[in-house]
Amino acid sequence: MKIVVVGGVAAGASAAAKARRTNEHAHIVLFEKGSYISFANCGLPYYIGDYIKQRDHLLVVTEETFKKRHNIDVRTNHEVIAIDRKNKRVLVKDLTTEKEFYEDYDKLILAPGARPIRPQMENMNLANVFTVTTIPDVDQIKELLSHRRVNEAVVVGGGYIGVETAEALRNVDVNVTIVELSDRILPGFDIEMTSRVMNTMVKNGIEIVLGRKVVKLFGKHSVKMVQLDDGTSIPADLVLLTAGIRPNIELAQQAGLKVNKGIIVDNRMQTSDPDIYAAGDAVEVTHIVTQKPCWTPLAGPANKQGRVAGANAAGDNKVFKGCLGTSIMKIFDLTLAKTGLTEKEAKDEGLDYEISYTHSANHAEYFPGSRLMSIKLIWEKGTKRVLGAQIVGREGVDKRIDVLATAIYGGFTLFDLEQLDLAYSPPYSSAKDPVIIAGFVAANIARDEANIITAQQLKAALDEGEDIDIIDVRTPGEYDAGHIKNARLIPLDELRDRLGELDKNRTIVVYCTVGHRSYHALRILWGHGFKNVKNLSGGYISWRTI
């Protein structure tokens, strides 16, 4: 059997290695149009920012090691430019010699990845304009930084790579401006979860320009300035294009394979041609929550897909069940993570959903160094199954998002979350872990044991002039330090003695710092015949964020 793999980074390298482990006697050829295989794409910004000191640490597996360990015919700087399905061969171009030749196959695995979007702007041919996609990209950026030729950088695009690269440049004392076309950075998250991230970036010296695009570059040989569509000019010795990526589906498309946004595959990573498999950033797979096709260009799913494609091409019968889009990122001292659907995605899917906000310490508050993390939980009203979660905080975010990802993968409901048996010791968690707290709060809402209003809903109601009594149940000191406009202070411990101050016929919203004391206040008021009472989800922290 002869297996040809197109693409040698995450999915392609995984596919080739798994094919070898599955079939020791197969002839496996891997073509990669770049100069490196299996390098750490996700580590590129951290190498730019000197978090990763050694360039070699980006090379997960070298070409030579791959050949020796896996007995795979690796050919870098070779681009597959056409597929001849009828004759089961691919047309390959040697990028070093410019010569073209055919390579036959019994099974073909496509892992061509994705390419960066290059926004249209004048004078794109100026020097010092790069993407952050390959090792040669960052080699050139590092060369400029090493000679102190960069004082001002403009990052075009505020997605994952843009934000991570902006932080990396600040870490090496470069002034950075992010220009983002949409009204927010990190549009894959809900906006209230990224506002804290944006504030942290600004505090650390990153300028953020939203709702604008770069239309022109200025400079004699290398870029010196960019111009935005409103006429604003920003100095720039370096421009990085991080406005997203686009799947490389053209090869599959030209071969007549079924494609949509990405290459269409089944759960065995098989394309519409039974002898051709595909994996990685170029394919569409099933979203575990919606059971609909989705394009999720992330390293974790790409590696797993490659593993399945490689095994099946070599004669096995494995499946890839789908993905949740679980992701996490570092922004200075903050961590931001998500899994499953965002609220926007749930709304776009037409799902009947509910949300809650909780703010919990990463470990026991009496143990030194505890820090709050904010969790947004999204669930389906009817089934009570968890649809998605987002977390922002400083410590312990990674642990909690993985628990929630596992819960969603397993089809858990809110009532399962509150029953989880998670590890507890004061340095690591609380007896009520933040995930369990999120489960408690959401389950209370689902059982009609609590009635909530979000900060967004309260703000909209007040803006529309609704007559609402807002009661702050915190202490006088907390109230004086900051409170919702026109809120009345009735500390929780005084509430039962001051019920006569409240009108049972009016709408009442109670709040505290995170929603815990105000939940007690709601239960007290309900117990005394106040029916139209709502608790502000996430308390004053959520209000302040909004």
Which of 240, 74, 68, 67 has the alpha carbon at shortest distance from 157? Answer: 240
Would you say residue 124 lies in a domain? no
Burial 324-355 (b: 16+ CB within 10 A, else e): bbbbebbbeebbbbbbbbbbebbeeeebebbb
Residue 60 has a pLDDT of: 82
Q: What is the mean pLDDT of residues 420-446?
A: 96
pLDDT of residue 41: 86
163 CA to centre of own chain: 11
Which of 183, 217, 243 is where one domain is finished? Answer: 243
Q: What is the structure's pLDDT at 368?
A: 95
Domain total of the chain:
4
Q: For all residues of the chain together, what is the average pLDDT? A: 96
Q: In this structure, is residue 48 part of a structural domain?
A: no
Among candidate residues 397, 430, 446, the one where a domain is terminated:
446
- Report the alpha-carbon distance of residue 359 to residue 399 in Å, rounded: 16
Q: Which amino acid is at 472?
A: D
Interatomic CA distance for residues 421 and 439, integer angstroms: 12
Same domain for 539 and 509, yes or no, is yes
CATH for 197: 3.50.50.60
62 pLDDT higher than 90: no
**Is residue 533 classed as helix, strand or coil in its secondary structure?**
strand
Spot the catalytic one: 42, 294, 323, 512: 42
User: For this structure, is 42 an active site residue?
Assistant: yes
What is the average per-residue pLDDT within 67-74? 94
| Per-residue pLDDT tens digits for 468-500 | 999 999 999 999 999 999 999 999 999 999 999
Domain with 537 in it: what CATH number? Answer: 3.40.250.10
* SS3 sequence of 464-476: CCCCEEEEECCCH
pLDDT of residue 229: 96
Place of tokens 């919606």: 290
On whether the CB atoms of residues 473 and 487 are closer than 8 A, the answer is no
Residues 293 and 378 in one domain: no
Q: What is the pLDDT of residues 484-543, one digit of tens each?
A: 999 999 999 999 999 999 999 999 999 999 999 999 999 999 999 999 999 999 999 999
- 106, 202: one domain: no
Note the pLDDT of residue 536. 98
Helix (H, G, I), strand (E, B) or coil at 447: coil
pLDDT of residue 310: 98
Q: Say if residue 361 is in the same domain as residue 442.
A: yes
HSE, CB side, 13 Å, CA atoms: give it for residue 345. 22
**Are 279 and 236 within one domain?**
no
Alpha carbons 21 and 16: distance in angstroms, whole number: 9
Place of tokens 């952050």: 132
Q: Both 71 and 170 in a single domain?
A: no
Distance CA 514, CA 434 (A): 12
Reference 510, options 520, 500, 501; nearest CA is: 520
Assigned domain for 78 exists: yes
- 68 Cβ partners below 8 Å, 6+ apart? none
The confidence score (pLDDT) of residue 268 equals 98
In this prediction, residue 391 carries a pLDDT of 98
Q: Where is 309: in which H helix or E strand?
A: helix 299-313
Q: What is the pLDDT of residues 142-201, one digit of tens each?
A: 999 988 889 999 999 999 999 999 999 999 999 999 999 999 999 999 999 999 999 999
| Residues of the domain holding 398 | 333-446
Is residue 369 classed exposed, middle or buried when 0-12, 13-18 and 19+ CB atoms within 10 A define those classes?
exposed
Which amino acid belongs to residue 238? L
Maximum alpha-carbon separation in the chain: 89
Same domain assignment for residues 206 and 239? yes
Cα 358 to Cα 391: distance, rounded to the nearest angstrom? 10
In a domain, 147, yes or no: yes
Are residues 232 and 253 located together in one domain of the fold?
A: no
Final residue in a domain of this structure, among 396, 416, 446: 446
pLDDT at 342: 97
Token readout for 213 is 């695009």
38, pLDDT greater than 90: no
Structure tokens at 146: 């090493």
- Does position 331 have pLDDT exceeding 90, yes or no? yes
Nearest Cα to Cα of residue 328 among 186, 177, 532: 186
Q: Is this structure's pTM higher than 0.85?
A: yes
| Cβ burial 522-535 (10 Å sphere, 16+ → b, else e) | bebbeeeebeebbb
- Which tens digit of pLDDT belongs to each residue from 282-318? 999 999 999 999 999 999 999 999 999 999 999 999 9
Distances (CA, A) of 116 to 59, 95, 164, 244, 246: 21, 20, 16, 6, 6
